[in-house]
Structure 1
Amino acid sequence: MKKACVTGGNGYLASALIKQLLENGYHVNATVRNPDDIAKVSHLKKLEEIGTLKLFQADLMVEGSVDEAVIGCDYVFHVAAPTNLMSDDPENELIRPAIQGTLNVLKSCLKAKTVERVVYTSSGSAVSVNQQKGTGYVLDEEAWSDVDYLMGEKPPTWGYIVSKTLAEKEALKFASENQMDLVTIVPTLIVGPGLSLEVPVSIHMALSLFTGDEMWINGLSAMETLSGSISMVHLKDIVRAHIFLAENPSASGRYICTAVNTSLAEIASFLTKQYPQYKVFIDVHDIPAKAKLSLSSKKLIQAGYEFNYNMEEIFDTAIEYGKSKGMLPKQDHS
């Protein structure tokens, strides 16, 4: 019976990962800030029906805080990360906690002496934010976002991007210095129905061209402007990829995980054709026709991983979920 620890267990990706691990027969320890906060952990409590799940209170900023949770674990999935994208104090609310929290988790894994591999969840934003001009770039695991540019220019959400970039670099460095088996997975925008009652941010973004919500449409547009593309992966695919990389003995280093690389104009065109019953709220003439770049999942695919969800299936899932939440406008049958 394999045992795994997942940090930040009540989060969108982490809770879906815990569910899949339990369904695969794992015993799971999950860290949360407050196991007694029923509003935050009720969706995890339901998962106890599937298998053995234990919740541990942990503050990742405190060294040793996750010692108890990782003892006896074969794999540790470090998913937790500060995510306040619009923080007024990125240095203290995002960057320092992301780095320190990651190092504290890795130190606990070293101490445990049972952990075979750590899988660290990074972000596509740690790869693609750069000042290159033009289009047609294909980025792989060698690429890193330009931290000097981000800290100098401070574009929107710069603090989060710097935090993910530097935390991943520090994790790889620590693992190398301590002969630790660490793999980092680099997901793009994760879209899929989450387990908690809240509608995930990514669903709001994915459906924004149907709902007409300007804040979320602007979010998609800003993502393309800053990251160079709108790249997506289904929640179920990214969860499977985490487990695949933990269990694959030959996995090492970074792995980009994205099923779709596209642009706002291409999404608008695709949605108009694919779902004619809905009005698409955007004028494609006002936006760039093509994305600047794409992210390559070639390394992950060559390791033997297969994606189950393409663009059409990602949006089909989002729309079904959106309907169930009453998010979508009445269909246009004219």
Structure 2
Amino acid sequence: MNSEGGKVVCVTGASGYVASWIVKLLLLRGYTVRATVRNPSDTAKTEHLLALEGAKERLKVFKADLLEEFSFEQAIQGCDAVFHTASPVKFTVMDPQMNGGGQVVCVTGASGYIASWIVKLLLLRGYTVRATVQNPTDTAETEHLLALEGAKERLKLFKADLLEDCSFEQAIEGCDAVFHTASPVKFIVTDPQMNGGGKVACVTGASGYVASWIVKLLLLRGYTVRATVRNPTDTAKTEHLLALDGADERLKLFKADLLEEYSFEQAIEGCEAVFHTASPVKFIVTDPQTELIDPALKGTMNVLNTCKKTSSVKRVIVTSSMAAVIVRQPPLEPNDVVDESFFSDPSVCMETEYWYPLSKTLAENVAWQFSKDNGMDMVFINPGFVIGPLLQPTLNFSVEMIVDMINGKNPFNSIYYRFVDVRDVALAHVNALETPSANGRYIMDGPSMTIYEIKEIMRELFPDLCVADTKEEGEIKEIIYKVCVEKVKNLGVEFTPLKSSLRDTIISLKEKCLV
């Protein structure tokens, strides 16, 4: 053994043929060796090195990749010498220069037949690939992509849908090129113009937050939409609807008021489906009967009575709320799992003066009874607090909660909050129409997160946004429970992550100068 004890050297690509012998000889001569390989956990690449004499005391293996800048820094730090052996040895190659090194491209519909091969070839050529799929959590759709060579280091999956406006933005951002392969391939179809081609649907309270997104999705799917608003001449309430794709050809506005009997008749006439979303959303009222309960109850009955008299109506989809689910006695506890069988108790709502939950509970109860008495096909969607991009120009109640949090308020003096994305809620409504087996209630709510976690996400997403510390006022509530949303997933709804919803909400608020 030469007098090299104590010296430290690095060998790159140490698992290779020549490199392995260099490592062996260095260890025999007393050197400490820092060896780089692409995957230290791959025993097929490292076992022979670790078995060398002296390896246990003087060999350390590091992960490094030739195409990853700075990945050799940790291995080389403190070395007296470096043996750079790492380099591919091939005499038959697809691309001798690996043209894509460092470049970023997007492939839409990446799980498809041709698209998958495009992704494979791009990865082999050194590109970083941002791939869009309909559901990144569906292993049947993504497993073959994630198994591709180079996928672990240079492939990222994004959720995107051809029919959802702006859903490709995150994937395409920063790309040098885009391969647009996503498109349905069918030679036998039930409706070449999408599910709604030729069908007519009515949306009540169409200028509202959720309702506007339902109108948007219906138009994108080819439906003719008859939308009710209180004042069709109020551009602040209708301009965003009239600007939607397809509105010129297939959207008609009608004047209707929840408290005016028969006022929905003209709008519902000839419709196959009715989405009843119209109902006031207020948590602070001076006259709960006039401001909340009468519009919710009488409005629901007015719409349903009109549907009963209109023979063309085949299904009614009612927008209810988690408020009609969770106000109970005894109160919900951390181990309770809330599902569609949970109903709020009107007497508890009255005792606690929870007037909005009372209005939604009473309205849903009378609708259920009406459905049973008249054999009407009715589906209920029960979302929690809804956030996401705004189509309308003004703040609605649930998105205003996000503005409040940014400004340091705690809207319900609660530690825990749940939010669901408006695009998911709209999709659930439309899919409830298009799924023949849809029935009963579908609750929709996101995971429970603390107000402090939500604010940290905002700060991470928007470092320049001044997110104020929370000013606690009064008693802080710690209501927490579990929610089972498996039923609504059967309608084809995959929940948008809260981080994405918050990002898109705040971007929308900034665009509309609301924050």
Q: Deviations over 1:173-197 (max 9, x none)?
A: 1011100000000011111122222
Mark the CA change 1:309 to 1:119 in structure 2 (over 3 Å): closer, same or farther.
same
Q: Which residue of 2 aligns with 1:107?
A: 305
Q: Offset at 1:147?
A: 1.9
Q: Which residue of 1 aligns with 2:243?
A: 46
The one of 65, 70, 79 equivalent to 2:268 is 70
SS across alignment from 1:82: coil
1:242 to 2:429 alignment? yes
Q: Offset at 1:279?
A: 5.7
C-alpha RMSD over aligned residues: 2.5
- Identify which range, 74-83 or 50-59, moves more after superposition: 50-59
Mark the CA change 1:101 to 1:304 in structure 2 (over 3 Å): closer, same or farther.
closer
Q: Which residue of 2 aligns with 1:331?
A: none
Mark the CA change 1:232 to 1:29 in structure 2 (over 3 Å): closer, same or farther.
same
- Identify which range, 292-301 or 263-272, moves more after superposition: 263-272
The answer to whether the 8 Å contact 2:326/2:332 transfers is no
Mark the CA change 1:296 to 1:288 in structure 2 (over 3 Å): closer, same or farther.
farther
> Which structure shows the bigger proportion of residues in helix conformation?
1
Q: Which has the larger radius of gyration?
A: 2
CA distance in structure 2 between the partners assigned to 1:272 and 1:291 by the alignment: 25
Which runs of 5 or more residues in structure 1 are unaligned? 329-334
1:206 to 2:402 alignment? yes
The one of 283, 293, 314 equivalent to 2:501 is 314
Q: What are the equivalent positions in structure 2 for 1:138-149 lying under 5 Å apart? A: 138-149=337-348
Identity of aligned residues (%): 37
The one of 320, 328, 336 equivalent to 1:137 is 336
Greater relative contact order (CA < 8 Å, ≥ 6 in sequence):
1
AA partner of residue 146 (structure 1): D
Q: Which residue of 1 aligns with 2:410?
A: 218
Which runs of 5 or more residues in structure 2 are unaligned? 1-197
Q: Which residue of 2 aligns with 1:177?
A: 373
Q: Offset at 1:203?
A: 2.9
1:4 to 2:191 alignment? no
Mark the CA change 1:152 to 1:241 in structure 2 (over 3 Å): closer, same or farther.
same
Q: Offset at 1:71?
A: 1.4
CA distance in structure 1 between the partners assigned to 2:280 and 2:502 by the alignment: 27
AA partner of residue 267 (structure 2): A
- Identify which range, 104-113 or 133-142, moves more after superposition: 133-142
1:28 to 2:225 alignment? yes
Q: Which residue of 1 aligns with 2:121?
A: none
Mark the CA change 1:152 to 1:278 in structure 2 (over 3 Å): closer, same or farther.
same
Q: Offset at 1:91?
A: 1.4
Mark the CA change 1:113 to 1:261 in structure 2 (over 3 Å): closer, same or farther.
farther
Q: Which residue of 2 aligns with 1:299?
A: 487
The answer to whether the 8 Å contact 2:256/2:263 transfers is yes
Q: Deviations over 1:192-221 (max 9, x none)?
A: 122222133333322444x3x24xx331x3
AA partner of residue 93 (structure 1): E
- Identify which range, 266-275 or 199-208, moves more after superposition: 266-275
The answer to whether the 8 Å contact 2:390/2:508 transfers is no
Q: Offset at 1:271?
A: 4.3
CA distance in structure 2 between the partners assigned to 1:49 and 1:180 by the alignment: 29
- Identify which range, 234-243 or 128-137, moves more after superposition: 128-137
The alignment of Structure 1 onto Structure 2 pairs a total of residues equal to 315
Q: Offset at 1:277?
A: 5.7
Q: Which residue of 1 aligns with 2:253?
A: 55
- Identify which range, 5-14 or 141-150, moves more after superposition: 141-150
SS across alignment from 1:22: helix
Q: Offset at 1:114?
A: 0.8
CA distance in structure 1 between the partners assigned to 2:340 and 2:402 by the alignment: 26
CA distance in structure 2 between the partners assigned to 1:275 and 1:42 by the alignment: 29
The one of 284, 289, 311 equivalent to 1:86 is 284
The TM-score normalised by the length of structure 1 is 0.85
Q: Which residue of 2 aligns with 1:195?
A: 391
AA partner of residue 138 (structure 1): V
SS across alignment from 2:386: strand
